[in-house]
Structure formats: C-alpha cells, structure tokens
Amino acid sequence: MTIEEVKANIRDIIDFPISGIVFKDLTTAFKNPDCMKFFEDELYRLYKDKGITKVVGIESRGFIMAPVLGNKLGVGFVPIRKKGKLPADVIEISYGKEYGEDIIQIHADSLDENDVVLIHDDLLATGGTMKAACDLVKKFGIKKIYVNFLVELDFLEGRKVFDSEIEVESLIHF
C-alpha cells in the first residue's frame, strides 16, 4: 500500500468540530486492514533501532496505534489521559487550547530516567496537546523523547512548537 492509497482512505469531515474546520477522520483508514498494516510496518521501520523502552499514547486516538507499536517493538505502553481518568497517583500538566485550558495526566510510576520514550498521537495540527505531553514526560528525567504522528497538517506548522532535541516524524502530510 502506498501513502497515496492510505490518504484516499482518510475521510474529510467538513465543519467539524466547528464551522470552517476540515477534520481528517482516520477511522476510515483504521477499518482497512491494509492501512493498519501500513501504519504498523512504517512505524516499526522508523523506530526499531532507536532504543525505545516505552511507547506513550495520548487519549484517545493515540491509543489505537501506540500499543500496537509497543507490542511490535517488544516494549511497554503507557497512556496519557485527560484529568480524572487514571486510578493511581498521577503527574499532571495544564496547557492552553483554542477554547480554554485542559489538563492531561500520566501515572507517577510510568517512566523513569532510564527510559527512551516514543510519544504517539494520530494527527499533528497545532501541536498543543503533544507539546504538553512532551513537557509532562520530561518531568521523569527520561533519556530521550521521540514524537510521532500518523498525519500532519503541514499548513498549521505544528511541529514548530517542539524543542529542537525532540525528533518529530509524521507518516502522511496534508
């Protein structure tokens, strides 16, 4: 399967979640086993030699491919969730969004200073949530952070929000 074929499986939803937005809906690609195999294989190819020890997925669509990649790499999966969703002691960070503020959390015993972490989400738009996730993971004093997206909306220039030491990769660009 080619990138163009995968792109053809991503549906545009006009005026969602608000008027003027064209939402890239990856659920149509996720239901296609060939697209899922493409995502799995390409993510593995990118990260198999990076020394990753944990794959962190961001709620909710980051939970689709992050555990698959963790399994393929033979490493653990760690969720980052919205406030109030994790049952044990957490570390949290608040960050600004277009319409206010949000808080994300991670279990306090999820990572340590020996970890090399790949943080995954489905789509990079403005980068606010992923930037907050990176700042949250940095609180553990980990060795290195890699960031990955399946899709990047290049015109929004979201990758500019990340610190220079963070390697950012996206499989598909619009």
Query: Does residue 160 carry a pLDDT above 80?
Result: yes
Q: Which residues contact 30 (CB under 8 A, 6 or more apart)?
A: 36, 64
Q: Which residues contact 156 (CB under 8 A, 6 or more apart)?
A: 124, 125, 126, 127
Specify the pLDDT at position 109. 98
Summarised one tens digit per residue, pLDDT across range 1-52 is 999 999 999 999 999 989 999 999 999 999 999 999 999 999 999 999 999 9
Q: Which pair of tokens denotes residue 18?
A: 């608000």
Task: Look at strands 90-97 and 100-107 and give their pairing.
Answer: antiparallel
Summarised one tens digit per residue, pLDDT across range 65-100 is 999 999 999 999 999 999 999 999 999 999 988 777
Summarised one tens digit per residue, pLDDT across range 114-156 is 999 999 999 999 999 999 999 999 999 999 999 999 999 999 9
Specify the pLDDT at position 100. 78
User: How far apart, in whole angstroms, are the C-alpha atoms of residue 71 and residue 23?
Assistant: 29
Known catalytic membership, residue 98: yes
72 CA to centre of own chain = 16
Catalytic residue, from 11, 40, 42, 61: name it. 61
Catalytic residue, from 98, 101, 113, 165: name it. 98
Summarised one tens digit per residue, pLDDT across range 104-116 is 999 999 999 999 9
Helix, strand or coil, per DSSP, at residue 76: strand
What topology does CATH give the domain 49-173? Answer: Rossmann fold (3.40.50)
pTM more than 0.75: yes
Specify the pLDDT at position 62. 96
Specify the pLDDT at position 69. 98
Parse the chain into domains and list their residue ranges.
Answer: 49-173
Mean pLDDT of the region 158-162: 97
User: How far apart, in whole angstroms, are the C-alpha atoms of residue 139 and residue 122?
Assistant: 23
Known catalytic membership, residue 61: yes
